[in-house]
Chains A and B, each alone.
Chain A
Amino acid sequence: DIQMTQSPSTLSASVGDGVTITCRASQSISSWLAWYQQKPGKAPKLLIYKASSLESGVPSRFSGSGSGTEFTLTISSLQPDDFATYYCQQCNSYPWTFGQGTKVEIK
């Protein structure tokens, strides 16, 4: 199975800050990576697919990059609605696997 490792596990930031979350795969997954946002008690929401494609309706302050084994999710200027937990997911091969999550909290 492909292991996905996110860092950091928790990130404290203020409104307006730029933040970056890293996701590493245990083997190459080309660009087959997705990012999700999850708020407490809610289902995950797709943000980014194929490593860098922005899902329709997602604000442009979210961006993704990377290929192979290292990927990043960047929020250019944190908004109050962005405080949540973020997960990466590899879409390269079964079983699909997720990172352990990164909680973005208010500083």
Chain B
Amino acid sequence: EVQLVESGGGLVQPGGSLRLSCAASGFTFSSYSMNWVRQAPGKGLEWVSYIVPSSSTIYYADSVKGRFTISRDNAKNSLYLQMNSLRAEDTAVYYCAREAWAAAYFDYWGQGTLVTVSS
């Protein structure tokens, strides 16, 4: 059974940093591209970042470019999101999502971890 479990969320002050993790199991993690998608309270879904299996290709949404860094450790079956210079508008539930093989839709999602940026 495919499982994605996020952790690392919490309350952080504006300008602060946080590192999210996503532990993957039940599939060959090193073969799949992975993404982070977020959802602000009461709002819709916003794609954040993408990484290919080898980490050779990475994309970011303009809203987080230069502040967030996606990475992965295939030996540990883990995906990460380092978030720096956090703003109030980054407050959201952050989901890790597996990208379906050779396609760009998300076939498995984690349960999400809440990040709250507030003083």
Q: Is the A/B pair a real complex?
A: yes
Enumerate chain A interface residues (CB-CB to B < 8 A). Answer: 32, 34, 36, 38, 42-46, 49-50, 55, 87, 89, 91-92, 94-101
- Stretch of B9-17, B24-32, B70-78, B98-106 that contacts chain A: B98-106
> In which size bucket is the chain B interface?
20 to 34
For B107, give its contact among A55, A87, A92 (CB under 8 Å). Answer: A55
- Chain B residue nearest to A48 (CB atoms) is B105
State whether B45 touches A98 (Cβ < 8 A): yes
For A32, give its contact among B61, B62, B104, B111 (CB under 8 Å). Answer: B104
Mostly, the A contact residues are loop
Cα of A100 to Cα of B45 in the assembled complex, Å: 8
**Residues in chain A near residue B45, CB distance under 8 A:** 36, 38, 44, 87, 89, 98, 101
For A49, give its contact among B47, B59, B105, B111 (CB under 8 Å). Answer: B105
For B106, give its contact among A32, A34, A95, A101 (CB under 8 Å). Answer: A34
State whether B110 touches A91 (Cβ < 8 A): no
B46 at the binding interface (Cβ < 8 Å): yes
State whether A98 touches B44 (Cβ < 8 A): yes
17 inter-chain pairs at a CB distance below 8 angstroms, sorted by A residue, are: A34-B106, A38-B45, A43-B95, A44-B106, A46-B105, A46-B106, A49-B107, A87-B45, A89-B106, A94-B50, A95-B62, A97-B47, A98-B44, A98-B45, A98-B47, A99-B44, A101-B45
